[in-house]
Chains A and B, each alone.
Chain A
């Protein structure tokens, strides 16, 4: 039976603002399937975002939703989760939002290992403001503020998350639609900070400038660069040049922040 997305969508809040061919819708569908798989309760779930095209997602879905300021989603989410640890808390948003302006909040949420699931839509560009480069724009690529090609090195979000202390880190792409929900579901089941990076496409602000003739071209590229971690183990550095590892990249058990804080409360209360 076809999956009933409508049960999670807000009546009257569609059509969404996303351009035709934008990958954000694919990621949203994966997110809803994952939440359904994990049986998340609408009343007990908060979805928090910052600002950007990806960050408009919360407006469309029927949960407790919070569309905050640019870059600050993880910090708002931390307040919600610590104040009410029984709630399931998700963060969604773009690469600019998450690791440029929000970079500090992102790494510290990872460090605390607070139990939330961060779905980061990495389309290598600032979509909403019209295509300026982000910390994830490939070096040499064109953006509206890199007319001569991007001189900046690229942030690897998944590595950043692992390095900062997130205890579940996974990556996939908008092309691998069926993997999106599996990885998000695994992240939701994981106790602690989970980061799921989804490489996705922005035909409007990135594709046009970088000689992708169509959305299909962009999808093909996502397909080609993705290498599952297991397969990568048997590949040479030359073969891995320009590729991106996908699947669960990191998983470990480490005390979760809110649980640690319960111990603080216990000591303060003399237990």
Chain B
């Protein structure tokens, strides 16, 4: 039987991806350019018996999905710039309390209200460093509508697997762009469910790492009762200020990502094998970059594209290999230089690294990238 197809906006594809992944709770607060995610969820979730709630603000929306997740639900919120800023305290709460959830950020420009209908990629560093304190981050930046669907599914999988918040970064262009989508059949994409608790209720400790770095999370309302707090805590979930326990907890949280980079990282490469110049681009701008690479190749310039799909953790190892082989790296992004900082850091600037920054609400064009590559070579 032919697959179901549809012409969907990226934001809509994101919502359908969430449903495919088994999302059963959405808590949100409207903000352009993310609202379609909420609108689709409000229509589709109740059909599956799931719950949609429009909360009084973004902080409440974030709180509601964390409460819902603790009952065992796969939970989603979607927002943009100012909304993500408001959510930061509770994103940190999700990190320390290790509560799975997915946050979609359809990035818009400017600090503050900025440009509500303008695209941007300027929350890349916020996705890593937005909330206070040390913690790992996972952030994914898909490029096409089909990929938004599948990467949203993967975001839920990573959230459940690593017991933490995962951010999906769209930009206004791919959030609102319409493309043909093929709906995967059930079972076609992997769907990861929360690891079941196997110990008896008396022995259950929500942060007991004796079995590994990611202790299973029981659901509120089951026979497991436990305490959750945003304070640093011991294995049983109760607050502690013992230096060795606090240190162990913080380091374990970083380790659970560092040790699993191979599972979390996802990149795409195009004509990088012999490339002398590597264009590093993500999200919508990677499409301009791919086009630019083709143009350059036709002119005999050995260009290649490196597209991180998982932005955090950043693909340090592969990026460094590519920088070592290349004469130059070019980084087009719709901000004034964010991911380029990480590229400079991890590659220790073994070759010239040039950025193209654009914050006027217009996408970076292939011609701009072609011109920059010629300039640096």
Query: Residues of A at under 8 Å CB distance from B?
Result: 10, 13, 42-44, 46, 48, 58-59, 62-69, 72, 75-84, 86-87, 104-105, 108, 261, 264-265, 267-269
Q: Is the interface of B mostly helix, strand, loop or mixed?
A: mixed
User: What residues of chain B lie closer than 8 Å to A66, measured between beta carbons?
Assistant: 67, 70, 220, 227-229
User: What residues of chain B lie closer than 8 Å to A87, measured between beta carbons?
Assistant: 71, 220-221
Stretch in contact with the other chain, from B47-55, B184-192, B292-300: B47-55
Assuming A79-B64, A269-B49, what are 14 further A-B pairs, CB within 8 angstroms? A44-B221, A59-B238, A66-B70, A67-B231, A72-B60, A77-B67, A78-B53, A78-B67, A80-B68, A83-B24, A105-B56, A265-B46, A269-B46, A269-B47
**Complex contact A67–B229 (CB within 8 A):** yes
Q: Which among A78, A104, A267 is the interface contact of B64 at CB below 8 angstroms?
A: A78
B84 adjacent to chain A (CB < 8 Å): no
Smallest Cβ distance from A144 to chain B, in angstroms? 23
Q: Which residue of chain B lies nearest to A88 when distances are taken between CB atoms in the complex?
A: B221
A239 to B341: give the CA distance in the assembly, Å: 69
**Complex contact B70–A80 (CB within 8 A):** yes
**Complex contact B51–A261 (CB within 8 A):** yes
Q: Which residue of chain A lies nearest to B225 when distances are taken between CB atoms in the complex?
A: A64
User: What residues of chain A lie closer than 8 Å to B230, measured between beta carbons?
Assistant: 67-69
User: What residues of chain B lie closer than 8 Å to A69, measured between beta carbons?
Assistant: 63, 89-90, 93, 230
List 22 A-B pairs, Cβ < 8 Å.
Answer: A42-B225, A43-B225, A64-B70, A65-B227, A67-B227, A68-B66, A69-B63, A69-B230, A72-B59, A72-B63, A79-B27, A79-B65, A80-B67, A82-B53, A83-B25, A83-B71, A83-B72, A83-B73, A104-B56, A105-B60, A105-B63, A261-B51
User: What residues of chain B lie closer than 8 Å to A77, measured between beta carbons?
Assistant: 67
Which residues from 211 to 246 on chain B have a C-beta closer than 8 Å to any C-beta of chain A?
A: 220-231, 238-239
User: What residues of chain B lie closer than 8 Å to A58, measured between beta carbons?
Assistant: 227
B193 adjacent to chain A (CB < 8 Å): no
Q: Which among A43, A75, A80, A268 is the interface contact of B47 at CB below 8 angstroms?
A: A268
A87 to B61: give the CA distance in the assembly, Å: 20
- Residue among B24, B60, B70, B75 with max Cβ neighbours from chain A (10 Å): B60
In the complex, the 9 A-B pairs of residues with the closest C-beta atoms, listed nearest first: A79-B67, A75-B63, A79-B64, A268-B46, A83-B68, A75-B60, A67-B229, A80-B67, A76-B67
